[in-house]
Amino acid sequence: MDLRLTREEIAFRDEIRTFLCENIPEAIRNRIAEGRHVGREDYVTCQRILNAHKLATPNWPVAWGGRDWTPMQRYIFGEEVQSNNVPDPLPFNVAMVGPVIIAFGTEAQKQRLLPPTANLDIWWCQGFSEPGAGSDLASLKTRAVRDGDAWVINGQKTWTTMAQWANWIFLLARTNPEARKPQEGISFFLVDMSTPGITVRPIQLLDGGHEVNEVFFDNVRVPADALVGTEHRGWDCAKFLLANERSNIARVGISKSRLRRIRALARAVPAGDGSLWDDEDFRHRVLQVEIDLKALEMTQLRVIASEREGSRTPNPASSILKIKGSEIQQATTELALEIAGPFALPYHDPEAEYPDGANDLPEGFGWADTAAPTYFNYRKTSIYGGSNEIQRNIIAKMVLGL
């Protein structure tokens, strides 16, 4: 047992860190560190820089522009991206639909779609959830009916993240309503958002921002090759996709970066005759979160080490990453809210532009206005990707045998 990074791993980490700091625009990294709005162009800029250096899709096979990295190298890369405040390569493209196309797509689909997916020329969004199908995803009602050499799609998707910026959507639709089990009559489609009949309606979240949408399908005709994999077997693709989505789900790097900022801000915020950091109770609350995060990081590393050791069955500890990771992310937003104190109150439109490092906002401290919106926004982390209650159901059944 040796829990230190090897010399090679440290060199790899330093190389990635240097690359990110030298190549990803500082203005974008600062905006992320401050919890400010990041626009579509920022994501595209960063992903294209990464892609030009074959760093956008390291998890893909080498033949499709991936890297033959060890699980530890992949982890280090993800960790460096997050803790240096670089936007993750768009997960819908890189972690979700890309691997599905690679695993289930035809050669023609791969040739046509993978290069623009890697370069973010195509921005994908995910059409899974529906108003009546959240945790119970298999009960989805969107229909796709074969009509000659086309499919006709009708229905509604919801919670579709960044659909307003997307030009393609991957979605699950029911193709056989008579199937014995609900999972067995579902197919997986790739759809160009400019196809007539698609409407996107924004849903404003508690932070005031526009992050998710409803997407409506009204007699949307798509070509036969919009189908990926076997007809009626889309659930296989969905399960494969959701398994991939788990990687870096703990988001340790993001929480680390947020805790570094919390320490710096607490030292800068006046309280009494000194700063908030002089308050032992506050410091102890920060430490408790840091300890929890250190334990989670070690848990994550145990999972990665068992992957490398070639274990067939996943390490049971992997199942706690989503629950604990989301709880810690939420705890960091609570600490930031506490630092902001009364200066958390003034509302600013999160998508409005203002100068970098603005300290002359009409009310309060320049940085404090993101505390409450981030706190509100991060409540999503224990809800999306399978709510923490669903995660507990799964662990109880699959790991504990209850």
Partner 1 sequence: MNFELTDEQRLLRDSVDRLIGPAYDDLAHRRRIAAEPPGYSRELWAKYAELGLLALPFSEEEGGFGGGPVETMLVMEAIGRGLALEPYLATVVLCGNLIRLGASAAQREALVPAIADGSLTLAFAHLERQARYDLFDVGTYARRQGSGFVLEGEKSVVLYGDSATKLIVTARTEGSRRDPQGITLFLVDADAPGVSRRGFATQDGQRGAAISFGSVAVTESAAIGTVGGAGPLIEQVADIAIAAIAAEAVGAAAALHALTLDYLKTRKQFGVPIGSFQVLQHRAVDMFTALEQARSMEYYAAMMAAETDAPARRSAISAAKVQINKSARFIGQQAVQLHGGIGVTMEYRAGHYFKRLTMIEQAFGDTPYHLRRLDAGGGWLDAA
Residues binding partner 1 (CB under 8 A): 1-6, 9, 72, 263, 280, 283-284, 286-288, 290-292, 294-299, 301-302, 305-306, 308-309, 316-317, 320, 323-324, 389, 392-393, 395-396, 399-402
Q: Rounded to the nearest whole angstrom, what is the least distance from the CB of residue 399 to partner 1 in the complex?
A: 7
Tell the smallest beta-carbon distance from residue 397 to partner 1 (Å). Answer: 8
Which of 85/175 has CB closer to partner 1? 85
CA gyration radius for the chain? 22
Q: How many CA atoms lie within 13 A of 381 on its CB side?
A: 23
Give least dist CB 86 to partner 1, A.
Answer: 20
Q: At which residue do the structure tokens 């629950």 appear?
A: 323
Estimate to the nearest angstrom the gap between the alpha carbon of 325 and the chain centroid.
12
**Number of CB atoms found within 10 A of residue 165's CB:** 18
Q: Where are the alpha helices (DSSP H) in 106-225?
A: 107-118
The token pair at 263 is 């320490």
CB of 290 to partner 1, least distance (A): 6
Burial of 333 (0-12, 13-18, 19+ CB in 10 A): buried
- Closer to partner 1 at the Cβ: 49 or 395? 395
Cβ neighbours around 267 below 10 Å, total: 12
> In the complex with partner 1, which residue's Cβ is closer, 309 or 360?
309
Closest distance of CB 271 from partner 1, Å: 17
Nearer CB in complex with partner 1: 20/76: 76
Query: Which is catalytic among the residues 34, 80, 245, 307?
Result: 245
Pairing verdict, β 274-275 and 124-127 = unpaired
Report the alpha-carbon distance of residue 124 to residue 46 in Å, rounded. Answer: 16
**Structural tokens at position 283:** 């410091």
Establish whether 245 is a catalytic residue: yes
Nearer to partner 1, 247 or 318 (CB): 318
Q: Any idea which residues carry the catalytic annotation?
A: 245
